[in-house]
Structure 1
Amino acid sequence: MRLWPWALEVYARPAVAQACLSLQDGHGQNVPYLLWAAWRASEGRGADARAAAQLVRRWDAEVGAPLRSVRRAIKPAWPGIDDAAREIFRDAVKAVELDGEKLLMESLEALSGDPGPPLDLFETLLEAARASGDPPRDAALRALAEALT
């Protein structure tokens, strides 16, 4: 299965979304990157986690985090800004953010090898987290691994 449809399917599970957002907000991890690592494990696909992490760090610094920051900044009401118009604009930013995540995932998928026997999910998540910088505590990654199984 392709990465994007797989990611949409698993992210729809409340426990997966919660674990991903906890890793993002509490540990500075990139959600599309973690989902890519989990997909790789399920598909048995090898990849250069360091090259992928380098791509993700730049994307997150220059595109993902700024879009997320704008979306979050305009979530509460703003005095002098019409609420309905603000919500329409916020939805547009959210849609662009989602399009960006899809583009990032398609780029990560292109860095992945051919399918093979499934890989250990937790170890693949840990490898990705370590390659991206300061990895979160094992418990946070284990929570995601459990939510995905």
Structure 2
Amino acid sequence: MRLWDWALEVYARQPVAEACLSLQDAHGQNVPYLLWGAWMAVEGRSADLKDAARLMRAWDAEVGAPLRGVRRALKPPRPPVDEAAKETLRDAVKAVELQGERVLMESLEALTGPPGAPGPAPRPALDGLVAAAEASGDPPRRAALERLAFAIENADG
């Protein structure tokens, strides 16, 4: 399954979304990158994690974080700005932010070997999450990754 399709499917599960947002907000993690790590593990794929981490960090610094910042800045009321107009703008920024996440995921997937290629057998999502987080140089507490892995592997799909 393609990464984007897999990510949409698992993220739609409430426990997965909650665990992802916790990793993003409380631990400063890049959710598309972590989902890519989990996807690689469960699909039995491999990639150079250091190259992927460099790609993610550059993208997040230049694209992801600025878009997220604009979206968040538009959340509270900003009188005398018309609230409806502000929300329309915020929705547009949110759509662009989501498209940015898709571009990042497609770029990460392009670094990944195909399933069934010589490489690892399918593994638990936690293995991929830990490996990706460690390669990023800023891993969160393991318990946060365990919550996401559990949600991915045990939520009704």
Q: After the TM superposition, which residues 88-99 of structure 1 pair with which residues of structure 2 at under 5 Å, given as runs?
A: 88-99=88-99
Show structure 2 runs of 5+ residues with no match. none
Deviations 1:100-129 (A, max 9, x none): 000000000000012133123212110100
One-letter amino acid matched to 2:90? R
How far is the alpha carbon of 1:62 from its aligned partner?
A: 0.7
Q: Distance in 1 between matches of 2:89 and 2:125?
A: 38
TM-score normalized by structure 2?
Answer: 0.92
Aligned-residue CA RMSD in angstroms?
A: 0.8
1:110 equivalent in structure 2 = 110
Count of aligned pairs: 149
Alignment partner for residue 133 of structure 1, among 117, 130, 137? 137
Partner-residue secondary structure (3-state), 2:5: helix
1:146 equivalent in structure 2 = 150
1:23 equivalent in structure 2 = 23
**Residue 69 (structure 1) aligned with residue 69 (structure 2):** yes
Q: Distance in 2 between matches of 1:121 and 1:95?
A: 28
* Structure 1 residue ranges, 4+ long, deviating more than 2 angstroms after superposition: none
Show structure 1 runs of 5+ residues with no match. none
Q: Distance in 1 between matches of 2:30 and 2:140?
A: 12
**Residue 119 (structure 1) aligned with residue 120 (structure 2):** no
Q: After the TM superposition, which residues 24-103 of structure 1 pair with which residues of structure 2 at under 5 Å, given as runs?
A: 24-103=24-103
Partner-residue secondary structure (3-state), 2:127: helix
Deviations 1:15-43 (A, max 9, x none): 10111111111111100001111111111
Q: Distance in 2 between matches of 1:13 and 1:121?
A: 15
How far is the alpha carbon of 1:87 from its aligned partner?
A: 0.4
Partner-residue secondary structure (3-state), 2:96: helix
One-letter amino acid matched to 1:65? A
One-letter amino acid matched to 1:6? W
One-letter amino acid matched to 2:143? A
Equivalent pair of 2:39/2:128 in contact (CA under 8 Å)? no
Matched residues, percent identical?
Answer: 69
